[in-house]
Structure 1
């Protein structure tokens, strides 16, 4: 029995995201056939950070200009390349994120074509974008939709040969992730028990896990647990932040399976020389039955989101601090 885990709901929500494949492919095919010059991936907070793996994928594999952008900053700073030949993607669990709603209007006013992924067809974001693709309510994360969108786009551009195979395998991802959650449960419980009284965590990740590192630090440990954190990219670790690590510092390392793995290995080796409290969450530890080896790296953010969601529930338990509790976010005017 997993703490606070509704397996039928998890399976249904994840399946609803994967089931968008035909709509996503139809959309991508139409956009490619009509032609566009650049792609913007726009979000706020966690939905901004969750765009980074797909900007990273595009930089590695494609000549198409792809930029992730913070909704509020895009509005005030603009982007000279944003215009009638641009496509802009937004994601929002609730479909009510104010910064994203304003950014949609900003992009549309400049002639860009807007796409929204959310769980509510009648939400402001779903009603504002040119096309909305709707999963079940509260479906998170958006990696399934973004993998399908970016995979199909790169495939149509001749930049990704394995898309059909990947998309076929993603059909089994709901069950795969349930097994990940089950395997992670004792690990998560042990971490939470050991860190019940830790008030500071140092988080490190790289490659397509840098976005998740940022997200887990800011949106979960800080926003939902009121814990102090430092987050640093594994490639930047040795340029300042390492000075904060002491013998008793909780260092959390997110390790994936892409080409940046050696960067994070180097951090792990150093951290373990200094701190006696280093925890590594490594996607290699999870079998992912039915997923081909060449796709494991792409799925790292999705796998670790599942693993760390178990950690979050156990931190909530041992610290007696609800993940839904906020002091300021959407509570105070700002």
Structure 2
């Protein structure tokens, strides 16, 4: 595979899997000590990657789950953020400015902080009550963060008696790193073609629904915009028909991500509409990939993870095709802002 280290990938994703037992232990302790809610408080891309787990809790658990912006919470606070809150702060670098500032505020409140970081010797790696360290880099962090946050959500449901098949689910997830590697291999020949579509337009509408919507948002903002300087319009498939559809005409690229949860039908609606008005609809569907030993329920849970692993292959080809390395920035961490 192009510019890809298979063993490194397996090591990082297996590292995320290995954190499950300790995450479960910490969550169980928090709940026994009277935790009343959970906040997922990342910044930028790391925040987006927490959304499927937060959504799972909001839809399947009565334990209150909140998603908010650290930059705003530092200024406003929240009536729900108390010493009975569990706060999850993800940051690959462990140094994200807004998240570090939030950490200090949360400490004053005396909430219990779980940090998910790629580097231990950092403000967030050292500052949380419970730091979970799994080295990763930009091309491997999505799957790692998705897995860790999913384990947190599943653990809350397990300890509250809201999920009957926890053991089955986590047993299936144990084999996911190798399955994801096989997904990458199976898609490699097609990845260049998808990259060519992305390189062929300077503007894309990127959409999805359910737990893959965050991956659509993430890929548009953090990869195509930040790392490739390609303009995008990420829009949830539910909102596609409340404004964005008016921008669809011949020559406009629509990129649709489809997962396998109950909200797939909202993506179907976009897929049925767009070809009538543009010849540039491109669909990336997790149902097209083989995942031996993964049940339909778990396939639904891991749809954003599968998309992330396929999109990494597309991005690897895109940066070569455009002669624009994914590490190139003009402003991000380069100038004061």
The alignment status of 1:233 with 2:232, answered yes or no, reads no
Residue 291 of structure 2, aligned match among 288, 292, 303: 288
Instruction: Compute the TM-score of the two structures, normalised by the length of structure 1.
Output: 0.97
For residues 136 and 229 of structure 1, what CA distance do their matches in structure 2 show? 30
Structure 2 gap segments, 5+ residues each: none
Contact 2:54 2:153 in 1 (8 A): no
For residues 222 and 248 of structure 2, what CA distance do their matches in structure 1 show? 22
The alignment status of 1:311 with 2:310, answered yes or no, reads no
Contact 1:201 1:229 in 2 (8 A): yes
For the residue of structure 2 that corresponds to 1:43, the secondary structure is coil
Distance 1:309 1:137, change over 3 A: closer
1:63 matched to which residue of 2? 62
- The structural deviation recorded for 1:103 is 0.9
1:171-190 CA-to-partner distances (Å, cap 9, x unmatched) read 11110000111122122111
For residues 33 and 320 of structure 2, what CA distance do their matches in structure 1 show? 51
Distance 1:137 1:232, change over 3 A: closer
The alignment status of 1:140 with 2:132, answered yes or no, reads no
1:47 matched to which residue of 2? 46
* Residues 4-19 of structure 1: pairs in structure 2 closer than 5 A: 4-19=3-18
For residues 197 and 166 of structure 1, what CA distance do their matches in structure 2 show? 40
- Kindly report the root-mean-square deviation, in angstroms, between the aligned alpha carbons of the 2 structures: 1.1
Higher alpha-carbon deviation: 136-145 or 279-288: 136-145
- The structural deviation recorded for 1:38 is 0.8
1:103 matched to which residue of 2? 102
Residue 264 of structure 1, aligned match among 252, 263, 267: 267
For residues 184 and 277 of structure 1, what CA distance do their matches in structure 2 show? 21
Structure 1 gap segments, 5+ residues each: none
* Residues 85-234 of structure 1: pairs in structure 2 closer than 5 A: 85-138=84-137, 140-141=141-142, 142-234=145-237
Aligned length: 333
- The structural deviation recorded for 1:77 is 2.3
Contact 1:17 1:136 in 2 (8 A): no
Contact 1:82 1:112 in 2 (8 A): yes
1:331 matched to which residue of 2? 334
